[in-house]
């Protein structure tokens, strides 16, 4: 059985593939990942085609595959891929450099990628594609949609916000073991919900006071983060001579990074994606211009925020998602265009209610400006502010205070939805987050869904805390600990799972979907 491995850039996944090859007969035929594992992959698996992730995003063919003929695109195929095209063209925002990637060029890139991956599928005839994460890098999402079209199995890990727990799933928006296991627990489990001490501590911090919650759910300054990490004030650190070697090393690393151009897939003006190679001064100039652009957007946003937020007025709190990212594209589907979500809520809000909107702080962060600069416009904020029952609120506003005093929370697929139900507030979700299906989550795709959610909330709907804990119990039972937590989250990282345990998890999940059986709890 031929298997394609996508975005597997660590040696541990080569070990996993070798175990699965021995146990299940999964023969790796095509591997997409970082060049750092290319030698290991080719040494372990003969005649495999290796493809650098950066090259795959740019549309550069694998050197091992250049002789293959591209697939032919016709009207029936492209019409069947209509939703894919809409999603991918938006996803290409991550390749944009200050207007360098107009519609016609994006469409050309899309067609080339579809043709290439059609050819790969025709040549290797895979029966399974393993995506390490939810596909969202343009090329892998096209590969994913082609697999769905042709009935080729897909498998991927979905990462939760509960410590380092992740679970396996077959598709981005389909049913999952987690949903199935949760429903089973809802029907069979009675009494108190037992959770591990580790999970209890996590939930306690999530439901506690604002000052005690993890940093990744708060708006904090870089100084606040640094202070909390070492427990010292800036004055104390100045005279901590023992720490000077560490500080010097950090500063040298920062200076070095400013003169080193990382591998990137930024589309250069006047060049096709496959010929783009943004380096040196040109790259640094682009980063500087991107920073200036997000600064202008931040000032525009700040001019439109309300002076004070009235927490006593009935309102829905909407936290905008950072873009471009998988949380909206592809997980948000059509609502990756956030204005559509805002307009639907604003037009269905009960009379007298307001919609408080808070921008994601990372949208204006200089560290991410090279990506985020293209995902907002001044007119976007103007359109939001022009709605009669919408109020833009300061970034410094406490998200937990906003959640706690709200009638409900709204998000595409963001963490705030998970925070809300853990603090007893219902959440309107316009996509497919990892916590989809949990108690308190209203999945919204239509005007009728929105009206129904507000009707239930006005009628006195309350989030059942026990059922939320059951969802966490199902995740703890069916999930797997992976060391994939973003380092900005102020939690202790779990040691990397062994190749053996990862392979076993994949093997058991595969047998279950083959036999069409429910997970054992």
What is the chain's pLDDT, residue by residue, as a tens digit (521 residues)? 999 999 999 888 999 999 999 999 999 999 999 999 999 999 999 889 999 999 999 999 999 997 777 778 999 999 999 999 999 999 999 999 999 999 999 999 999 999 999 999 999 999 999 999 899 999 999 999 999 999 999 999 988 888 878 889 999 987 678 888 899 999 888 788 889 999 999 999 898 875 555 444 444 333 333 333 444 545 555 556 666 676 676 666 555 555 677 889 999 999 999 999 999 889 999 999 999 999 999 999 999 998 889 999 999 999 999 999 999 999 999 999 999 999 999 999 999 999 999 999 999 999 888 888 989 999 999 999 999 999 999 998 988 899 999 999 999 999 999 999 999 999 999 999 999 999 999 999 999 999 999 999 999 999 999 999 999 999 999 888 775 434 333 333 334 557 888 899 899 999 988 888 877 66
Residue 262 included in any domain: no
Say if residue 163 is in the same domain as residue 312. no
Say if residue 88 is in the same domain as residue 118. yes
Say if residue 31 is in the same domain as residue 177. yes
- Which pLDDT score, from 0 to 100, does residue 250 have? 63
Q: Is the dihedral of CA 79, 81, 83, 89 positive or negative?
A: negative
The pTM of the full predicted model, rounded to 2 decimals, is 0.87
Residue 486 included in any domain: yes
Residue 232 included in any domain: no
**What is 29-83 written as a DSSP string?**
EEEEE-GGGHHHHHHHSTT-EEEEHHHHHHTPPPGGGTTSPPPPP-HHHHHHTHH
- Which pLDDT score, from 0 to 100, does residue 247 have? 64
Q: Which residue has the tokens 């506690």?
A: 208
CA distance 301 to 291: 15
Residue 350 included in any domain: yes
CATH of the domain at 312: 3.40.50.2000
Say if residue 487 is in the same domain as residue 434. no
- Write the DSSP symbol of residue 354: E
Say if residue 337 is in the same domain as residue 465. yes
**3-class DSSP state of 481:** strand
Say if residue 487 is in the same domain as residue 372. no
Residue 33 included in any domain: yes
Say if residue 435 is in the same domain as residue 500. no
Say if residue 354 is in the same domain as residue 440. yes
Say if residue 139 is in the same domain as residue 51. yes
CATH of the domain at 67: 3.40.50
Say if residue 426 is in the same domain as residue 301. yes
Residue 114 included in any domain: yes
Say if residue 487 is in the same domain as residue 462. no
- Which pLDDT score, from 0 to 100, does residue 226 have? 34
Residue 244 included in any domain: no
Q: What domain range includes position 207?
A: 197-218+293-473
Say if residue 180 is in the same domain as residue 306. no
Residue 85 included in any domain: yes
- Write the DSSP symbol of residue 521: -
Count up the domains in the chain and report the number.
2
- Which pLDDT score, from 0 to 100, does residue 368 have? 86
CA distance 97 to 374: 8
Question: Length of the chain in residues, anyone?
Answer: 521
Q: Of 101, 90, 5, 13, nearest to 50 (Cα)? A: 5
Q: Is the dihedral of CA 375, 94, 372, 326 positive or negative?
A: positive
């Amino acid at each position: 059985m031929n298997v394609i491995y996508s975005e597997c850039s660590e040696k541990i996944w080569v070990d996993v593939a070798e175990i699965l090859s021995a146990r299940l007969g999964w023969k790796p035929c095509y591997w997409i990942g970082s060049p750092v594992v290319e030698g290991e992959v080719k040494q372990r698996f003969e005649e495999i085609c290796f493809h650098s992730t950066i090259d795959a995003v740019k549309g550069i063919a694998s050197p091992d595959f250049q002789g293959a003929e591209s697939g032919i695109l016709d009207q029936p195929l492209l019409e069947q891929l209509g939703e894919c095209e809409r999603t991918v063209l938006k996803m290409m925002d991550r390749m944009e450099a200050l207007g360098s990637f107009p519609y016609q060029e994006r469409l050309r890139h899309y067609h080339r990628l579809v043709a290439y991956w059609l050819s790969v599928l025709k040549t290797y005839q895979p029966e399974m594609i393993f995506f390490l994460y939810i596909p969202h890098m343009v090329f892998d999402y096209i590969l994913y949609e082609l697999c769905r079209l042709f009935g080729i199995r897909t498998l991927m890990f979905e990462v939760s916000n509960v410590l380092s727990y992740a679970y396996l799933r077959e598709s981005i928006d389909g049913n999952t073991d987690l949903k199935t296991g949760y429903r089973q627990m809802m029907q069979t489990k009675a009494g108190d919900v037992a959770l591990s001490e580790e999970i209890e501590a996590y939930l306690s911090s999530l439901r506690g006071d604002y000052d005690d919650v993890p940093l990744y759910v708060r708006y904090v300054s870089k100084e606040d983060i640094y202070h909390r990490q070492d427990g010292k004030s800036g004055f104390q650190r100045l005279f901590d001579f023992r720490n000077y070697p560490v500080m010097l090393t950090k500063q040298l690393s920062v200076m070095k990074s400013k003169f080193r151009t990382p591998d990137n897939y930024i589309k250069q003006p006047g060049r096709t994606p496959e010929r783009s190679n943004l380096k040196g001064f040109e790259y640094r100039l682009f980063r500087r211009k991107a920073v200036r652009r997000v600064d202008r957007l931040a000032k525009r946003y700040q001019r439109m925020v309300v002076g004070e937020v009235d927490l006593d007025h009935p309102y829905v709190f909407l936290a905008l998602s950072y873009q471009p990212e998988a949380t909206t594209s592809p997980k948000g589907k059509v609502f990756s265009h956030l204005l559509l979500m805002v307009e639907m809520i604003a037009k269905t809000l009960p009379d007298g209610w307001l919609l408080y909107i808070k921008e994601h702080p990372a949208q204006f962060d200089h560290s991410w400006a090279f990506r985020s600069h293209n995902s907002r416009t001044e007119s976007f904020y103007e359109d939001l502010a022009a709605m009669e029952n919408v109020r833009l609120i300061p970034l410094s506003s406490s998200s937990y205070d906003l959640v706690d005093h709200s009638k409900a929370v709204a998000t595409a697929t963001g963490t705030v939805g998970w925070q809300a139900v853990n603090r007893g507030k219902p959440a309107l979700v316009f996509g497919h987050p990892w916590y989809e299906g949990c108690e308190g989550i209203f999945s919204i795709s239509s005007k009728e869904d929105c009206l129904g959610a507000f009707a239930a909330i006005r009628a006195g709907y309350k989030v059942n805390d026990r059922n939320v804990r059951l969802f966490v119990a199902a995740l703890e039972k069916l999930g797997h600990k992976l060391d994939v937590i973003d380092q900005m989250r102020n939690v202790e990282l779990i040691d990397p799972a062994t190749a053996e345990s990862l392979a076993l998890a994949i093997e058991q999940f595969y047998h279950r979907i083959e036999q069409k059986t429910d997970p054992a709890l």
